Amino acid sequence: MAGWANISQLKEKIAQGSAEEVTASYLERIKKSRTNAYTTVWEGAVEKAREIDEQGHNGPLAGIPIAIKDNISTRGISTTCSSKILQGYVPPYDAHIVERLKDAGAIILGKTNMDEFAMGTSTESSCYGPTLNPWDMERVPGGSSGGSAAVVAAGEAPLSVGSDTGGSVRCPAAFCGVVGLKPTYGTISRYGLISYANSLEQIGPLATCVSDIAALMDVIGGHDARDSTSVKTESVYKDALVDDVSGLRIGVPAEYFGAGIDPAVENSVWDAIQLFEELGASWEQVSLPHTSYALAAYYIIAMSEASSNLARFDGTRYGYRKEGENWHVMASRTRAEGFGAEVKRRILLGTYALSAGYHDKYYLKALKVRTLVKQDFEQAFREFDCLMTPTMPTPAFKLREKVEDPLALYLADVNTVPINLAGVPSISLPCGFTDGLPIGLQIIGKHFDEATVLRAAYSFEQNTEHHTRRPAEVA
Amino acid sequence: MVYENPDGVKIGLEIHVQLNKLNTKLFCGCSTDYHNAEPNTHVCPVCLGLPGSLPVLNKRAVEFAMKVGLALNCNIVEQTQFHRKNYYYPDLPKGFQTTQYDYPIASRGKVVIDGEDGERIIRITRAHMEEDPGKLLHMGSIEKSKGTLINYNRSGMALIEIVTEPDMRSPKEARRFLDKLRSILEYLDVFNGDLEGAMRVDANISVMGGDRVEVKNISSHKGVEKAALYEIMRQKNFVRRGGKVVLETRHFDEQRGVTLSMRSKEEEHDYRYFPEPDLVPMRVADRVPEVIKTLPELPDAKRERFTSQYGMADMHAKALTSDIKVANFYEHVALKVDPGAAAVWIADVLKGELNYRDISVDAFKVEDMAEIIELVTGNKITERSGVEIIRTILDNGGTPAAVVKEKGLIKVEDDIVTKAVTEALAENPEALQDYLGGKEKSLNFLVGQVMKKTAGRSDARTTREMLLERISELPPK
Amino acid sequence: MITKEEVEHVGWLARIEIHESEAQDYAEKLNAVLDYFGQLDEVDTENVPPTYHVADIVNVFREDVVRPSMPQEEVLANTGKKQEGNFLAPRIM
């Protein structure tokens, strides 16, 4: 049984058996799953794997299955952002990263569940219903890439891809006990990623271990001429996998251990920091004074951009359509019925924040605060190589616990959104458990210094066992 | 003569110009060559606004826009960034238009036109880049239509929107401005005004210090003139009856020649501009010197050069330089024949014949024009025959030689005319006597007789001169 | 404070039909969030420039070279509402 195998283990299995067997075993497991983590399972996966067996493929991910978040465009495979408004939409083109994955020989297993249009922290706002946390089926997997994290945690895919606008890769990675990276803004082409808040978001990989994250980054990272914000980098992420943190200067921002933090989370993170110290790193407290304003600034910017990004869903060219006596009425009804409650709230708030009379008070103000948040990081990184914090202030919460209170849900993102405002890279990896629920450690790096983040994460993983624990419920 | 502008007319224009000489659209690689294509065949995920697609700016479009800005004597911006203009309309596949907002690529320029009373400076407020929406076809009238067909082939075409100050004082000045603008754009080789929808104009019109009224989406220069004439009349009448003109948007019904109010909930806008996160800022000011080097000689400069280099009248220079194709045609002809004669023949004759037929100078060959001018100046054919050859070629094709032969237009040799003069004088002694006795009209009779004998192949003026010469040589009786 | 009427106006701007019965609930939920956003008023942003882009990139261009467009049937494949190669929408107003 493939299940939780990593890339090198899978390569052995493929060499001894076949890619077809590996893919089939995952599909078998998906069939029995109760997590509701997939929105679409691709029926062509087995045949594609057989093709690779027959024709051979020397790509770095030849025959390795992968799951893709439902907001990333896949040619010929339904892509809906877990929204009713995109029901029936089958893209005619592949996202840049999907092209890269196919070229590398990866087998797409299917599309993963998410909060509708990536707007959420629990994967409960999906039109397909919530994804369940493999560690406790009464709890949320985090979000918005809840499906992408849950499939890796449940052994329903060895690797997956999510997107992170304000923590959407790292939050579910933390809640599901897997590794998730949000790279520096501009590192991975967004071509084909259906925008929620385009100045903030990045595609990010999820996996059971840091080395698989690096391997995936080597495939999907790098410049793409179709994304104007894509940066020319020549990183080889695998080179960062060195078990050595001696001399590493760690900053610990006090603001990230604020009110509402679960004591078990706090303890696990401090244990982790202590371990780094034992391994030769040093740490010091640091202050990022504008952290408490980051959340409001983030939501204003994200909602403003979203209100424009989601304007194209009007029923005219694709997706859901509710007729009306004229085009404007049709668009208004289509959008009223096609979008869920939270998406509509965010569009309305974003529209309001950009509208005449409020633009400066909300939108422009938020962008100025963004500058201050970014400067906090720049200041901190003059003294430190990386920062360490809890990814989420608590472990996974119960299903429906926060559905009715949007603001409470927003507050859960307090430790992840500042990173997106600044555009810096950050990883979440398992650093402990409380009552059987995983806890995530967040390591934040300088712009384009994924190498340090990966090296620290890899070293931690080499010296701990947390990442090897598997949820009993799905074993 | 000073133009008084009795109604206090002020006209400002917003002109949307398609940079249709680009190979591709503004933000994607789709071809701009869609005018005769099937609907929705020149689109891709980007210009169709498919979820997840991203724009990438066409470098040459920026160069074109800079050229236009410089040709309109504008300043080019140091740094700029595209914005999103958010509004809902079915021709807008993303639900916003990508455009420039607070920093247009070019601003504060001017264009000189021939105004009501001599040269007039029209100030250019700004020129900014943006994308064209798709095209809607209403099945029936816009209000009662059964449905709307949408073709996105035009979606994403690069536009430059040129905004003037309200410096035009009459519909005629507005039209002259548009003619001049088109001329400049075609000189720059960024624009083909013959293509459908290549230039669309919104006109802001006010009278007697009242609020301006915006007439939207007029598709021809003539239409702008007509819409402005109608709107001035409407506003004057309205004020005369005690009304007060208020800021509003109107639509021009080209067929009926009237403007109609289009106030409705759908027209209320709050565009919520903000910088397009998917496009990065551009800093192009340092490229200005390089772009200036690529600017061609523009109409005003060419007009001056034509008068000084070819010694032609300013009137002819103006006529020859308003259209780059005519100017180039002229210069090619002037290499082969007398430039002075060429100026007269092309400005006064050929251009008129082309305008009358509404065809381009491309329809006429440089060699044919040169040959016709040679024939006339060499005294082989009459001027009237020259005009006839031009008309025949334009209507039926052929070459000057063939037309001359077919119609027997070669001027009769002088000795034949001389012979006819001698004969006519011998056969009509009474007429000669009458003339010598002071009856001027009798000379006309004699001219007629000579022309009859030569079957019209001699011209009246030459015949008259020859007759007078011969009469003066006659021995006194 | 966003009023019921403003909620309806914003709903129209965003082309989201809001029934009268929903407007009050929207107003309450939106106001809770707007109250929270109000905390930014505390931050001194005098002389602080806005950050529109985190990456410091300028001048990204594409050459003016034609790339293939999509075939018409693929363009129209995601809608049932089409006519003679066009998308079909209700009348505009």
Q: Are strands B10-18 and B158-164 parallel, antiparallel or unpaired?
A: antiparallel
Using an 8 Å Cβ cutoff, are A135 and A471 in contact?
Answer: yes
Q: Which two tokens stand for residue B337?
A: 């024949």
Query: Is it the case that residue B186 has pLDDT exceeding 90?
Result: yes
**Does A307 sit within 8 Å of B86, measured CB to CB?**
yes
**Does A308 sit within 8 Å of B86, measured CB to CB?**
yes
Using an 8 Å Cβ cutoff, are B174 and B201 in contact?
Answer: no
Residue B459 pLDDT level (bands cut at 50, 70, 90): confident
A408–chain C Cβ distance below 8 A for any pair: no
B341–chain A Cβ distance below 8 A for any pair: no
**Does C86 sit within 8 Å of B150, measured CB to CB?**
yes
With helix as H, strand as E and coil as C, how does B134-202 read?
CEEEECCCCCCCCCEEEECCCCCCEEEEEEECCCECCHHHHHHHHHHHHHHHHHCCCCCCCCCCCEEEE
Q: Which domains does chain B have, with CATH numbers?
A: 10-291 (no CATH), 297-407 (no CATH), 414-473 (1.10.10.410)
Which amino acid belongs to residue A184?
A: T
DSSP string, A64-90: -EEEEETTB-BTTB---TT-GGGTT--
Using an 8 Å Cβ cutoff, are B363 and B397 in contact?
Answer: no
Q: E strands, A123-178, where? A: 159-164
pLDDT at B413: 64
How close, in Å, is residue A347 to chain B by CA atoms? 13
pLDDT tens digits for B267-321? 678 999 999 999 999 999 999 999 999 999 999 999 999 999 999 999 999 999 9
Phi, psi of A231 (to 5 degrees): -105, 145
Q: What percent of chain B has pLDDT over 90?
A: 73
pLDDT tens digits for B390-445? 999 999 999 999 998 888 877 766 677 788 888 888 898 888 888 888 888 888 89
Query: What length is written for chain A?
Result: 475
Burial class (CB in 10 A: 0-12, 13-18, 19+), B465: exposed
Whole-angstrom Cα Rg for chain B: 30
Query: Which residues have CB under 8 Å from A220's CB, separation 6+?
Result: A97, A100, A101, A161, A188, A203, A205
CA gap A74, A44 in Å, rounded: 13
Q: For residue A423, which residues of chain C lie inside 8 Å, CB to CB?
A: 54-55
CA distances to C12, C14, C52 from A354, in Å:
14, 11, 14
Which amino acid belongs to residue C30?
A: L
Burial class (CB in 10 A: 0-12, 13-18, 19+), B312: buried
Our CA dihedral for A387, A390, A392, A395, rounded to 10 degrees, sits at 160
pLDDT at B438: 85
Using an 8 Å Cβ cutoff, are A300 and A410 in contact?
Answer: no
Q: Which two tokens stand for residue A69?
A: 């978040």
Using an 8 Å Cβ cutoff, are C86 and B150 in contact?
Answer: yes
Residue A366 host element (H or E): helix A365-380
B81–chain A Cβ distance below 8 A for any pair: no
DSSP string, A453-470: HHHHHHHHHHT--GGG--
Chains that touch C (3 or more CB pairs under 8 A): A, B
Each domain of chain A, given as residue ranges in start order, spans 7-251+382-474
pLDDT at B477: 55
Q: Are strands B248-253 and B213-218 parallel, antiparallel or unpaired?
A: parallel
pLDDT at B142: 66
Q: Which residues of A are catalytic?
A: 69, 144, 168
Tens of pLDDT along chain A (475 residues) come to: 467 999 999 999 999 999 999 999 999 999 999 999 999 999 999 999 999 999 999 999 999 999 999 999 999 999 999 999 999 999 999 999 999 999 999 999 999 999 999 999 999 999 999 999 999 999 999 999 999 999 999 999 999 999 999 999 999 999 999 999 999 999 999 999 999 999 999 999 999 999 999 999 999 999 999 999 999 887 899 999 999 999 999 999 999 998 889 999 999 999 999 999 999 999 999 999 999 999 999 999 999 999 999 999 999 999 999 999 999 999 999 999 999 999 999 999 999 999 999 999 999 999 999 999 999 999 999 999 999 999 999 999 999 998 888 888 899 999 999 999 999 999 999 999 999 999 999 999 999 999 999 999 999 999 999 999 999 878 7
Q: Which among C90, C8, B141 has a CA at the least distance from the CA of A329? A: C90
Using an 8 Å Cβ cutoff, are C30 and C2 in contact?
Answer: yes
CA gap A401, A405 in Å, rounded: 9
Query: Is it the case that residue C77 has pLDDT exceeding 80?
Result: yes
Query: What length is written for chain C?
Result: 93
How close, in Å, is residue B56 to chain A by CA atoms? 6
Using an 8 Å Cβ cutoff, are B194 and B362 in contact?
Answer: no
**Does B90 sit within 8 Å of A314, measured CB to CB?**
yes
pLDDT tens digits for C3-15? 999 999 999 999 9
Q: Which two tokens stand for residue B204?
A: 């802001």
Instruction: Indicate the average pLDDT of chain C.
Output: 95
CA distances to A389, B110, B264 from A418, in Å:
12, 48, 43
pLDDT at A125: 96
Q: Report the b/e string of A154-184 with b at 16+ CB within 10 A.
A: bbbbbbbbbbbbbbbbbbbbbbbbbbbbbbb
Q: Which among B14, B113, B7, B17 has a CA at the least distance from the CA of B61? A: B17
Using an 8 Å Cβ cutoff, are B50 and A74 in contact?
Answer: no
Using an 8 Å Cβ cutoff, are B180 and B111 in contact?
Answer: yes
How close, in Å, is residue B44 to chain C by CA atoms? 5
Q: Which among A51, A33, A57, B395 has a CA at the least distance from the CA of A67? A: A33
CA gap B96, A195 in Å, rounded: 14
What is the CB neighbour count within 10 angstroms for residue A398? 12
Report the CATH number of the C1-40 domain.
1.10.20
Q: Are strands A65-69 and A159-164 parallel, antiparallel or unpaired?
A: parallel
Using an 8 Å Cβ cutoff, are B53 and B199 in contact?
Answer: no
DSSP string, A104-130: TT-EEEEEE--SGGG--SSS-S-TT-P
CA gap A148, A72 in Å, rounded: 12
Q: Are strands B148-151 and B135-138 parallel, antiparallel or unpaired?
A: antiparallel
Using an 8 Å Cβ cutoff, are C89 and A330 in contact?
Answer: yes
DSSP state of A311: G
Q: Which among A282, A331, A300 has a CA at the least distance from the CA of A200? A: A300
Q: E strands, A319-471, where? A: 386-390, 426-434, 437-444
Residues of chain B numbered 118-177 and touching chain A (CB < 8 Å): 148, 150
pLDDT at B423: 87
Q: Could you give the angle at the alpha carbon of A388 between the alpha carbons of A386 and A389, nearest 5°?
A: 150
* Bridge partners, residue B138, by sequence: B148
* Bridge partners, residue B159, by sequence: B18, B130
Phi, psi of B351 (to 5 degrees): -60, -40
Residue of B nearest to C53 (CA): B277
Fold observed for domain A7-251+382-474: Amidase signature (AS) enzymes (3.90.1300)
**Does C55 sit within 8 Å of B266, measured CB to CB?**
no
pLDDT higher for B344 or B455?
A: B344
pLDDT at B412: 64
**Does C91 sit within 8 Å of B148, measured CB to CB?**
yes
Each domain of chain C, given as residue ranges in start order, spans 1-40
pLDDT higher for B265 or B354?
A: B354
How close, in Å, is residue B242 to chain C by CA atoms? 32
